A and B are shown apart, each in its own frame.
Chain A
Amino acid sequence: MIFEGCAQNAGLGDASLLALISAKADRNRTPLNVHLELTYRCNEQCVHCYCVVEHGREQEVRRHELTLGEIRRLLDELADMGALYLTLSGGEVMVRPDFFDIAEHARARGFAYRVFTNGIGLTEAKVERLAALEPLTVELSIFSADPEVHDAITRVPGSFRRLMAAIERLQRHGLRVYLKTVVMKPNIDGLAKLDRLGRDLGVFTHTYSCEVSPRVDGAVPRDGHAPQDYQLDADELFRYLRDSTWSEQLDPQEGRPEEVARQRATCGPATNGCCIDPYGNVYPCVAFRVPIGNVRRTPFRELWTAPPPAIRDLLSVQHYADLPECAACELVGFCNRCHGDNLLERGEGEWKRCHERARALAGAQRRLYQIRTAGRS
């Protein structure tokens, strides 16, 4: 029967068909997921932020940002190349007065788009306008249920109160609210309370991450503290994993390291997606800051189809065994290394080496896994 499987696929979203389509997108290098950074300006100054411009430099950087016309043309090109998922990110997207024009164009060009915002500028009128533009999700960072801790991380007094008001407005307008928490030294002690708050708010989802990326420009903020200064140490990582619901889902790949390394796929930047910064530079992903090129000088299609040697080298790494140290590492089955963070931490010639930060997390995960499996047997 010629249509076998077709009707149920339409109704149910068949998982194997989705896997087939994803595999094809990878093979054809369809840029299915695009992370578009609209600005690095922000009305918060989070202590751990990897990109935000410090106050006082806003006007200087604003002049170099892609214009509305350039962004519209870029979105047209991306849509024609098969890009479906679009993340509108910052900085803080709402500081751009043309944000809604950009979102409107994204919707008109058939993108399923997400909006990353800190929420503090989301007035009733803006939320109403956003709801009419039907984003897939609105994703906000929350650092603590304790307003003082949250405000100390954002460095904006009253930001917690304004965030709560924004969440209420977004939900009232039927938008899907996605909360995200970066777990760091300043907020690790309040996670249980924060988790309860997320549930009480009835948000669509609330996820946690302990990954703090170095600044993409390598600059040290005026206060002298780099984002990495706020990272959890080994004991804190273990405590975080032990107490979080995430660690319940530990599912390592077991076996001899060299076998696991051959089978285990690494993250694949530039395979089916990319990141484009506010100035038109195209990168393999948010973290891997080796430019593929700039859309102001070269059309995206050209950049994407003929990447420079450094990007071809990155694309050649598909499994842990393609990296020099992983096949001999007993933690490979737990590891979720980030090539980009490793590049930022070690420098361009060294990113294939062990990602020490991922190794520390993998070590904590293995320790916890061993305790839990011993307890079950």
Chain B
Amino acid sequence: MDWTESFPARRSVPWRTLDTEALVVDVKGGLLYPLNSVGARIWGLCDGARSVDEIVGVLTAEFEAPEPTIRADAIEFIERLADAKLISIERRRKGERR
């Protein structure tokens, strides 16, 4: 998948950031997802405006870890969010309007 052209966006689900963590509720499935501080940061960045590449860029600037590690882990996390239907991943070219 081309992560430059993949834009993850939170679905309309109840959620709150609490301190640095977050709680996300899947109403349809009746599930509660607690996210740790890194997960909460990624969740916050999944606004539909940033591509996965851009999210990785933000995280690389904030966390002291090699970019490939951050990229692999962030992508795995985003894919899990998508599998849980908490986010959608839109494919579009950079600069193309939603």
Closest to B83 in A: A11
A25 within 8 A of B: yes
Docked CA distance A82–B31 (Å): 19
Residue pairs across A and B with CB atoms within 8 Å: the count is: 99
A316 within 8 A of B: no
Docked CA distance A1–B18 (Å): 24
A84 in complex: contacting residue of B16, B42, B86, CB < 8 Å: B16
Known: A2-B69, A10-B33, A11-B83. A30 touches B18 (CB 8 A): yes
Docked CA distance A204–B73 (Å): 36
Docked CA distance A136–B39 (Å): 23
A322 within 8 A of B: no
A262 within 8 A of B: no
Stretch at the interface among A15-23, A296-304, A350-358: A15-23
Within 8 A of B (CB), among A196-212: 204
Within 8 A of B (CB), among A103-123: 110-113
A28 within 8 A of B: yes
**Complex interface: chain A residues within 8 A of B81 (CB):** 10
User: For this complex, into which size category does the number of interface residues on chain A fall?
Assistant: 20 to 34
Are A112 and B73 closer than 8 Å at their CB atoms? no
Are B77 and A7 closer than 8 Å at their CB atoms? yes
Stretch at the interface among B1-9, B20-28, B47-55, B89-97: B20-28
Chain A proximity of B72: nearest CB distance (Å): 9
A2 in complex: contacting residue of B16, B23, B65, CB < 8 Å: B65
Docked CA distance A232–B25 (Å): 37
Docked CA distance A204–B81 (Å): 25
Docked CA distance A341–B18 (Å): 31
Interface size on B, residues (CB 8 A): 36
B58 within 8 A of A: no
Are A134 and B27 closer than 8 Å at their CB atoms? yes
Within 8 A of B (CB), among A122-154: 134-136
Chain B residues touching A, majority SS: mixed
Chain A proximity of B38: nearest CB distance (Å): 5
Within 8 A of A (CB), among B66-98: 69-70, 73-74, 76-77, 80-81, 83-84, 86
What string of 1s and 0s marks CB contacts (under 8 Å) between A308-340 and chain B? 000000000000000000000000000000000
Chain B proximity of A23: nearest CB distance (Å): 11
**Complex interface: chain B residues within 8 A of A83 (CB):** 16
**Complex interface: chain A residues within 8 A of B63 (CB):** 2
Known: A134-B27, A136-B30. A3 touches B16 (CB 8 A): no
Within 8 A of B (CB), among A53-111: 79, 82-84, 110-111
Closest to B22 in A: A21
Within 8 A of B (CB), among A1-47: 1-3, 5-7, 9-11, 13-14, 17-18, 20-21, 24-25, 28, 30, 32
**Complex interface: chain A residues within 8 A of B18 (CB):** 21, 24-25, 28, 30, 32, 82
**Complex interface: chain A residues within 8 A of B39 (CB):** 6, 9-10
Closest to B19 in A: A24
**Complex interface: chain B residues within 8 A of A18 (CB):** 32, 34
Docked CA distance A177–B15 (Å): 22
Are A110 and B14 closer than 8 Å at their CB atoms? yes
Are B77 and A13 closer than 8 Å at their CB atoms? no
Closest to B17 in A: A82
Chain A proximity of B32: nearest CB distance (Å): 6
Known: A2-B63, A6-B39, A28-B19. A13 touches B31 (CB 8 A): yes
**A residues within 8 Å of B by Cβ?**
1-3, 5-7, 9-11, 13-14, 17-18, 20-21, 24-25, 28, 30, 32, 79, 82-84, 110-113, 134-136, 176, 204
Q: A32-B16, A84-B23 are in contact. List 14 more A-B contacts (CB 8 A).
A: A2-B38, A3-B38, A3-B69, A6-B39, A7-B77, A10-B33, A10-B81, A11-B84, A13-B33, A21-B23, A24-B19, A25-B18, A32-B18, A135-B27
15 A-B residue pairs with Cβ-Cβ distance under 8 Å, sorted by A, are A2-B64, A3-B69, A5-B36, A6-B73, A9-B39, A10-B84, A13-B32, A14-B34, A17-B21, A21-B18, A21-B19, A24-B18, A79-B16, A83-B16, A113-B14
The 5 A-B residue pairs with the shortest CB-CB distance in the complex, in nearest-first order = A3-B73, A112-B14, A112-B25, A2-B65, A18-B34
